[in-house]
Structure 1
Amino acid sequence: MILNERQRKIFEIIKKEKTISNKSLQNKLFISESTLRRDLNDMERQGIIHRTHGHSSLIESSSRESSILVRVQTQVKEKNSIAVKCATLLAKNESYFVDSSSTAGYVLPLLDNLPNVTVITNGLNNAAILTQSPNVRVYLPGGIIYNNTNSVLGIDTVNYIKNFNCNAFIFSCGGISLASGITEASLEQALVKREMLNHSKVHILLVDHTKFDKIFLCKTCEFEDIDYVITDKMPSEAYIEAFKKSGTTLLIA
């Protein structure tokens, strides 16, 4: 499902305000109470917002992944810049694991310029993007489909990944922190990403500035497991030192 124009306006208002009353939303959009109720019900079903006591807010939880519909519409400029920088590390005739993140999804159209590339991804959205690239061979593992994130996850997914050995793994994360490393809201996501890390030579983390200093429920890996961190803003000196110590190359898009 996708958001209609009115729902996109609602999303932008809630993203800015964090939490807002339904009455305020109604006044800002000049729409009826019943129309707003239908839109909010639809957005709640898609896992985009949380509604309580006449207020609406975006879902933010250390143990729950945000909807793919939220992620593809946030930090768009930053994700595009990060993707362009990432593309400079890629080459023809190579193979890549790509996670289900929206950030990694911005890289995929740039593979059109690279002949004979193979991608294994557990993201339904990302696999669909790749169907438009005739130069790319795409593998989609089996497993359980998680509708909220359009991800394929589970033990069957992990076992399928073991069939491959890729040149690189391109991925994002829920949060990155000095205390806990790279974390995800979902254990299932973390387990799939760990397996992709284990079966690839080079590990490329794509992370916009909003994900720094955030800790989610499940650990994916440490800084030492990452070869490149690509972000859109220079992080604090503490992160720069931590990356140097772990042998991780920091690239600013």
Structure 2
Amino acid sequence: MSLTFEDRRMTILNQLEMEGKVQVHHLSELLAVSTETVRRDLDRLEKEGKLRKVYGGAVKMRMELVEPPFLKRAQMMRPEKMAIGKLAASLVQDGETIMLDNGTTTIEMMPHLKDRTNVTIITHSIPILNLALETFRGRIIFAGGEVNAEYKAVSGILTDQTLDQFKVNKAFVSVGGISLADGITDFHLGEAVISRKMMQRAEEAIVLTDHTKFGMATFARVSKLEDISMLITDAGCPKEWIDTIEALGIEVLISE
């Protein structure tokens, strides 16, 4: 019995969600239909705004090609980010040194670390630095460098060299997107370089992300999925993603 368009549609969109792209010949074998049928399905889905056709297949629609400013991002998915930040902070043990990148999810760890006098925080994020100066009672190390007023962070060779001086227990990094094909990505090359360096200098690399980032690939690659130790997300994360990431040997924690 042949599959209906709705059945094929669901399979194509599921593949697109996980992989970020699909290929005509692979879908033809998977769905047991002709390549012409697949192309017609892709045409129809493109008209629905579900994907964008490319040579040999299709890719996921990228709803935002430019990352919103920090203050705007801080208000997006705020309850989910707060819950993720709280769970992430609970993993920090007394005596540990941690790195925090310039993320609107990583900053949500700070309210839950403020009384931790025996914890050291290393960051290049100006908002995290400002909040730490107001509320955090532990040690603060700022990885200085060239200030980018738009991103509200420092980056460049000085920041990179500063981070190279440390070996820390945990690095908590945020992401622009997560996909099976492209791994962990960010909107900005400079931010991606710093997040990658933090992961390299840590015993555990922990990604913090809300569920809207899954299946997305943004401009600059941070790392392969296999390079991270743990991923913390919210309950909106699809089960297929959780199963796939755990199958790679990565621990997944879901915030309440």
Structure 1 residues 1-253: aligned runs within 5 Å: 60-61=64-65, 64-253=66-255
Distance between the aligned counterparts of 1:222 and 1:242, measured in 2?
14
Distance between the aligned counterparts of 2:175 and 2:78, measured in 1?
16
Deviation at 1:191?
0.8
Deviation at 1:167?
0.5
Contact in 2 for aligned 1:185/1:217 (Cα 8 Å): yes
Distance between the aligned counterparts of 1:231 and 1:110, measured in 2?
17
- Calculate the TM-score normalised by the size of structure 2: 0.72
**AA matched with 1:83:** G
Corresponding residue pairs, total: 193
SS of alignment partner, residue 230 of structure 1: strand
SS of alignment partner, residue 160 of structure 2: helix
List per-residue Cα deviations over 1:122-142 (Å, max 9, x = no partner). Answer: 100001111123422111122
**1:119 and 1:182, CA in 2 relative to 1: closer, same or farther beyond 3 A?**
same
Distance between the aligned counterparts of 1:138 and 1:163, measured in 2?
15
Deviation at 1:223?
1.5
**AA matched with 2:74:** V
SS of alignment partner, residue 113 of structure 1: coil
Q: Percent identity?
A: 31
Deviation at 1:83?
1.1
Deviation at 1:115?
2.5
Deviation at 1:234?
4.9
Contact in 2 for aligned 1:91/1:114 (Cα 8 Å): no
Distance between the aligned counterparts of 1:234 and 1:248, measured in 2?
18
Distance between the aligned counterparts of 1:134 and 1:76, measured in 2?
21
SS of alignment partner, residue 184 of structure 2: strand
Deviation at 1:242?
2.6
**AA matched with 2:64:** E
Distance between the aligned counterparts of 2:118 and 2:189, measured in 1?
33
**AA matched with 1:188:** G
Deviation at 1:66?
2.3
Contact in 2 for aligned 1:143/1:156 (Cα 8 Å): yes
Deviation at 1:112?
2.0
Deviation at 1:121?
0.5
Contact in 2 for aligned 1:66/1:149 (Cα 8 Å): no
Deviation at 1:148?
1.5
Which protein has the larger Cα radius of gyration, Structure 1 or Structure 2? 2
Contact in 1 for aligned 2:116/2:136 (Cα 8 Å): no
SS of alignment partner, residue 202 of structure 1: strand
Q: Unpaired segments of 5 or more residues in structure 1?
A: 1-58
Q: Counterpart in 1 of 2:31?
A: none
Deviation at 1:174?
0.6
Contact in 2 for aligned 1:185/1:218 (Cα 8 Å): yes
SS of alignment partner, residue 105 of structure 2: helix
Contact in 1 for aligned 2:98/2:170 (Cα 8 Å): yes
- Calculate the TM-score normalised by the size of structure 1: 0.72
Contact in 1 for aligned 2:175/2:185 (Cα 8 Å): yes
Contact in 1 for aligned 2:102/2:124 (Cα 8 Å): yes
**AA matched with 1:124:** I
**AA matched with 1:126:** I
Contact in 1 for aligned 2:188/2:220 (Cα 8 Å): yes
SS of alignment partner, residue 232 of structure 2: strand
**1:134 and 1:106, CA in 2 relative to 1: closer, same or farther beyond 3 A?**
closer
